[in-house]
Amino acid sequence: MAWNEPGNKGNKDPWGNKSGNDKGPPDLDEVFRNFSKRFGGKGGNSSSGQPFSSGAFIAIAVVALIIWGLSGLYTIKEAERGVQLRFGQFIGEVGPGLHWKATFIDEVYPVDVETYRSLPASGSMLTSDENLVKVELVVQYSVNDAYSYLFSAVDANASLSEATDSAFRFVIGHNNMDDILTTGRDAIRRDTWRELERIIEPYKLGIQIRDVNFLPARPPEEVKDAFDDAISAQEDEQRFIREAEAYAREIEPKARGQVERMAQQASAYMQRVTLEAQGQVARFELLLPEYQQSPEVTRKRLYLDAMQEVMSDTNKVLIDTKNNGNLMYLPLDKLMDSSRSNQAQEEPEVERHINSNSATTNSNSFTRMPTDGRMSREERARQGRD
Per residue in 218-240, pLDDT (tens digit) is 877 777 787 778 778 878 998 99
pLDDT band at 34, cuts 50/70/90? low
Averaged pLDDT, 302-308: 85
Please compute Rg for the chain using Cα positions: 62
* pLDDT for residue 205 is more than 80: yes
Among residues 146, 276, 164, the alpha carbon closest in space to that of 209 is found at: 164
What distance in Å separates the CA atoms of residue 188 and residue 272, rounded to the nearest whole number? 67
Averaged pLDDT, 376-380: 55
pLDDT band at 28, cuts 50/70/90? low
Averaged pLDDT, 23-28: 56
Higher pLDDT, 184 or 375: 184
> What is the predicted pLDDT for the residue at 292?
85
Per residue in 61-86, pLDDT (tens digit) is 888 888 888 888 888 888 888 998 98
Give bridge partners of residue 98 from the DSSP assignment.
75
> What is the predicted pLDDT for the residue at 321?
62
Cα 302 to Cα 25, 287, 290, 307, 351, distances in angstroms:
168, 10, 12, 9, 20
> What is the predicted pLDDT for the residue at 311?
77
What distance in Å separates the CA atoms of residue 164 and residue 306, rounded to the nearest whole number? 100
> What is the predicted pLDDT for the residue at 170?
92
* pLDDT for residue 371 is more than 50: no
Cα 290 to Cα 241, 284, 286, 287, 296, distances in angstroms:
73, 10, 8, 5, 10
Per residue in 158-184, pLDDT (tens digit) is 999 999 999 999 999 988 887 887 788
Q: Which residues in 81-110 are b (16+ Cβ under 10 Å) and which e?
A: bbbbbeeeeeeebbeeeebebeeeebeebb
Residue 238, classed as helix, strand or coil, is: helix
What distance in Å separates the CA atoms of residue 119 and residue 198, rounded to the nearest whole number? 17
* pLDDT for residue 313 is more than 50: yes
Mean pLDDT for the chain? 77
> What is the predicted pLDDT for the residue at 229?
83
Q: What is the DSSP string of 67-117?
A: HHHHHTEEEE-TTEEEEEEETTEEEEEE-SEEEE--TTTEEEEEEE-SS-E
> What is the predicted pLDDT for the residue at 367?
40
Averaged pLDDT, 130-134: 84
Report the share of the chain in percent with pLDDT over 90.
Answer: 24
Give bridge partners of residue 106 from the DSSP assignment.
86
* pLDDT for residue 362 is more than 60: no
What distance in Å separates the CA atoms of residue 171 and residue 48, rounded to the nearest whole number? 82
| CB distance 90 to 83 below 8 Å | yes
Higher pLDDT, 335 or 312: 312
What distance in Å separates the CA atoms of residue 68 and residue 104, rounded to the nearest whole number? 9
> What is the predicted pLDDT for the residue at 372?
44
* pLDDT for residue 33 is more than 80: no
Averaged pLDDT, 204-224: 85
> What is the predicted pLDDT for the residue at 383?
52
> 142 phi and psi, to 5 degrees?
-140, 165
